[in-house]
Amino acid sequence: QIQQEAAMQNARMLVEKLNEHCFERCVPKPGSSLSSGEQTCFTTCMEKYMTAWNTVSKQYVARIQQESQKGGLGGGTF
């Protein structure tokens, strides 16, 4: 249950950050409705942010494993 809570927390964080970045970029001046251009920008931006998040995760985990094989400083520090 703790793990499920952690996964939820993680998803919530992703959605929050994604909203923050994409709203910033796609809706410079909020009008009386979301224009179709803004909506497209938002969906695209969302896709890009999630791809970026995946890229970062992979790179980060690979690096941790690499450092922990080398032992030493890198082991417990990140």
The nearest distance, CB 50 to other proteins, in angstroms, is 9
List % helix, strand, coil for the chain (3-state, nearest 5): 80, 0, 20
Cβ 71 to other proteins shortest distance, Å: 14
- When asked if residue 65 is in the footprint of other proteins (CB under 8 A), the reply is no
- The distance of Cα 3 from the centroid of its chain, to the nearest Å, equals 19
User: Any contact of residue 36 with other proteins (CB under 8 A)?
Assistant: no
Q: Does 73 bind other proteins (CB under 8 A)?
A: yes
Q: Find, among 11, 22, 24, the residue nearest to 46 by Cα.
A: 22
Query: Which phi-psi region, left, alpha or beta, contains residue 31 (left: φ > 0; alpha: ψ -120 to 50)?
Result: beta
Using CB under 8 A as the criterion, which residues of the chain lie in contact with other proteins when the complex forms?
Answer: 2-3, 6, 9-10, 13-34, 37-39, 41-49, 51-53, 55-57, 59-61, 63-64, 73-74, 77-78
